[in-house]
Structure 1
């Protein structure tokens, strides 16, 4: 069903979204919108909201399975502001958010669905789940000009690192159980990426609560929700496998002509399987076996 605004949709239908889980997908262009939606429908979300400009075309069979909402996706902080609106409307519901051409993977997602994941995570008294945005890209930019190819997707097998996250309110002391993570295309081509957008960590799975706020760097106003682990052991982490950075580097005139290929000696084909991501250390199961 199609709706003319997010505020209008939530004012009429927010109650139907509880208890969730809800997937919120923001489509900035037409690239792999349908595959993004199919992937997350298969993951076990009860509700999927697509925020997209009216001119983006979508396969009718896919559109019939989601709530399509006309939205200005190019406004400042469009995704974080939309997430905050949904958060206020559906307290208690679990929410996941992403862009088009991004795909959520979590440990054992081939045999367990998203509802299984959040049920276990909630049992560990956790209200949010840290995800890492792992860049995907086509190795041959001559054949795939926008750097997107599901069949030939590659990712970096190394080059990821973390730095202590400093707390400005405590004389820049490190924050407890919080790190800033880097790697992928934003690290390899950092001269083309503003420093405020180089992190690859994103708290993209959380339980809604009134008064909670998501900032433009995809961290929450509740500091505990930004931690990678609870005080007593490591928790599950997940990966958002994303063509978004590769698309942006190809769309920007400066980087498009400077970068001849994203392929390097640490590129490997993406297997579209959670085991590969766990083997590379790009997410972990915590205590979930």
Structure 2
């Protein structure tokens, strides 16, 4: 199921958007595309869309199970443009997006799939989930110079913090139930990361509706959908285990030669299990037990 462009997909493959949840993966390079796609297929998404440059090759068996759309993912605001187009094309479905080398985890995902989680979240009258992007990195950069290794994956167990999100429309007072979250490699190597890219929170799993738009800072234009909790209790959150920042820091010439090791005193091996993320406070089960 391959399409030559977004418009070709919306013309010929729009049936894939009839019922969610739908996962959308943007491939910035050819690293761990297959594991990213399979991870989200196993998570329980009904359909998985892959936006990737035409030269990228997938195994035939895998390409037959996803909707492959040729796309220039490096164009300015490529992800924002695509997601907003999908929102307009398919109102009323749950939609998720990520990049290659990123893996979504939700509480108890080993035993409960994403559809069960979204059914519970919908019952709580919530239409979006706050997601923390947790940086993964290889422990041995000599063996894995691009910092990507599923077998040698590590993460920071501490060093995360939150600041009130100022509201320009209200004299920069903090927005209600909204915070900007920081930590991981973007915090430890902040001299290599522009200020506007240091946040580690995303609204990347949400229910589409008419008029909804994704903004460049990975928030939505409906402020209630950007909140971490409803007014009466804490809600579920999810985590996106991501090699993207580590890969960028090891690829960009401005940082590559300044960074020889990502490990520090608070580095721990990543166990690829939701319980570790909950134990570290990087994911909230809310009222879902």
The answer to whether structure 1 residue 288 and structure 2 residue 285 are counterparts is no
The equivalent of 1:8 in structure 2 is: 8
- What is the CA-CA distance between 1:15 and the residue it aligns to? 3.7
Give the SS at the match of 2:13.
helix
The equivalent of 2:178 in structure 1 is: 178
Deviation string 1:75-121 (CA, Å, 9 cap, x unpaired) is 11111211111111111110010000000000000000010011000
The equivalent of 1:128 in structure 2 is: 128
Q: What CA distance in whole angstroms lies between the structure 2 residues aligned with 1:193 and 1:7? A: 34
Alignment of 1:70-219 (within 5 A): 70-219=70-219
Q: What CA distance in whole angstroms lies between the structure 2 residues aligned with 1:97 and 1:272? A: 20
- What is the CA-CA distance between 1:19 and the residue it aligns to? 1.9
The equivalent of 1:37 in structure 2 is: 37
Aligned 8 A contact 2:16 2:47 in 1? no
Q: What CA distance in whole angstroms lies between the structure 2 residues aligned with 1:147 and 1:240? A: 17
The answer to whether structure 1 residue 269 and structure 2 residue 269 are counterparts is yes
Q: What CA distance in whole angstroms lies between the structure 2 residues aligned with 1:233 and 1:154? A: 32
Q: What CA distance in whole angstroms lies between the structure 2 residues aligned with 1:126 and 1:65? A: 30
- What is the CA-CA distance between 1:159 and the residue it aligns to? 0.1
Q: What CA distance in whole angstroms lies between the structure 2 residues aligned with 1:78 and 1:32? A: 20
The answer to whether structure 1 residue 279 and structure 2 residue 279 are counterparts is yes
Q: Unpaired runs of 5+ in structure 2?
A: none
Q: What CA distance in whole angstroms lies between the structure 2 residues aligned with 1:155 and 1:7? A: 39
Give the SS at the match of 1:48.
strand
Give the SS at the match of 1:240.
strand
Give the SS at the match of 2:35.
helix
Aligned residues: 289
The equivalent of 1:63 in structure 2 is: 63
Aligned 8 A contact 1:15 1:90 in 2? no
Aligned 8 A contact 2:52 2:69 in 1? yes
TM-score (norm 1): 0.99
Aligned 8 A contact 2:178 2:227 in 1? yes
Give the SS at the match of 1:203.
strand
Q: What CA distance in whole angstroms lies between the structure 1 residues aligned with 2:213 and 2:18? A: 19
The equivalent of 2:48 in structure 1 is: 48
Give the SS at the match of 1:178.
strand
- What is the CA-CA distance between 1:189 and the residue it aligns to? 0.1
Give the SS at the match of 1:103.
strand
Q: Unpaired runs of 5+ in structure 1?
A: none
Q: For the structure 1 residues 14 and 213, does the alpha-carbon distance in structure 2 shift closer, same or farther, using more than 3 Å as the test?
A: same
Aligned 8 A contact 2:24 2:97 in 1? yes
Q: What CA distance in whole angstroms lies between the structure 1 residues aligned with 2:50 and 2:110? A: 24
The equivalent of 1:256 in structure 2 is: 256
- What is the CA-CA distance between 1:11 and the residue it aligns to? 2.6
TM-score (norm 2): 0.99
Q: What CA distance in whole angstroms lies between the structure 2 residues aligned with 1:264 and 1:188? A: 10
**Stretches of 4+ moved more than 4 A in 1?**
none
Q: What CA distance in whole angstroms lies between the structure 1 residues aligned with 2:261 and 2:117? A: 36
